[in-house]
Amino acid sequence: MDVRTMCLGILSLGEASGYEIKKMLEGPLGSFFDASFGSIYPALAQLTDQGLLAMSEQAQDKRPDKKVYKITQKGRLALAEALLDKPSRDRVRSDFLASILFADLLAPRELAERLDERLAFHRAMLERLEKYRTDAAEWGTPELTAGMRFVTDYGVAIHRAALDFIEQNRHVIEAASMLRRGQAAD
């Protein structure tokens, strides 16, 4: 899904500013979708120019006016049409996994630190996602939809599985790293 479609989808849940859209993408959707302000704001401008969004400005004290976007009927139809496209396969890009691929070149202490950091990351994500499971306010919406619950539960399942996998299998990669380092010293 591209940023334009994701913006339409988020705005189908209610009005939001570009900042609020980014906040949602960093929060409950951050486990599986990444977009920067540099891609969100141009997408919002294009969608507005095409009549898929309406934009209004809200005055703020001692700050520039806040641009708030609302999906139009034409935007809802475009979103419905975009959702008919079959999703492409998921792509996992992980600097962590890329570095672990070469774990035999890391000092055992460095490897242990990377594994510990990744465990801490998954624990933090699980804690964060638990809030999104039950609190619509965390999503920035009045109520949770079935889709929001499903996506949050899916994220919990992924992070729980990764956490469990590392905890149950780290000894294998750590032992191989120590063995390799021992052989390299010979």
pTM of the model: 0.77
State the Cα–Cα distance between residues 14 and 78, nearest whole angstrom. 16
Co-location of 132 and 62 in the same domain: no
State the Cα–Cα distance between residues 70 and 77, nearest whole angstrom. 14
Co-location of 106 and 158 in the same domain: yes
State the Cα–Cα distance between residues 75 and 8, nearest whole angstrom. 7
Co-location of 75 and 135 in the same domain: no
Co-location of 101 and 79 in the same domain: no
Which of 60, 83, 106 is the endpoint of a domain? Answer: 83
Give the model confidence (pLDDT) of 77-113 as tens digits.
Answer: 999 999 999 988 888 788 899 999 988 888 899 999 9
User: What values do phi and psi take at 17, rounded to 5?
Assistant: -90, 170
* pLDDT by residue, tens only, the chain of 186 residues: 899 999 999 999 899 999 999 988 887 777 778 888 889 999 999 999 999 999 999 888 898 889 999 999 999 999 999 999 998 888 878 889 999 998 888 889 999 999 999 999 999 999 988 888 877 777 777 788 888 889 889 989 999 999 999 999 999 999 887 776 665 554
Q: Which residue has the tokens 């390799």?
A: 180
**Domain hosting residue 173, numbered range:** 95-185
Co-location of 39 and 62 in the same domain: yes
φ/ψ bin of 62: left (φ > 0), alpha (ψ from -120 to 50), beta (otherwise): left
* 143, amino acid identity: E
Which of 83, 112, 143 is the endpoint of a domain? Answer: 83
User: What is the number of structural domains in the chain?
Assistant: 2
Co-location of 113 and 176 in the same domain: yes
Co-location of 29 and 107 in the same domain: no
Which of 40, 57, 83 is the endpoint of a domain? Answer: 83
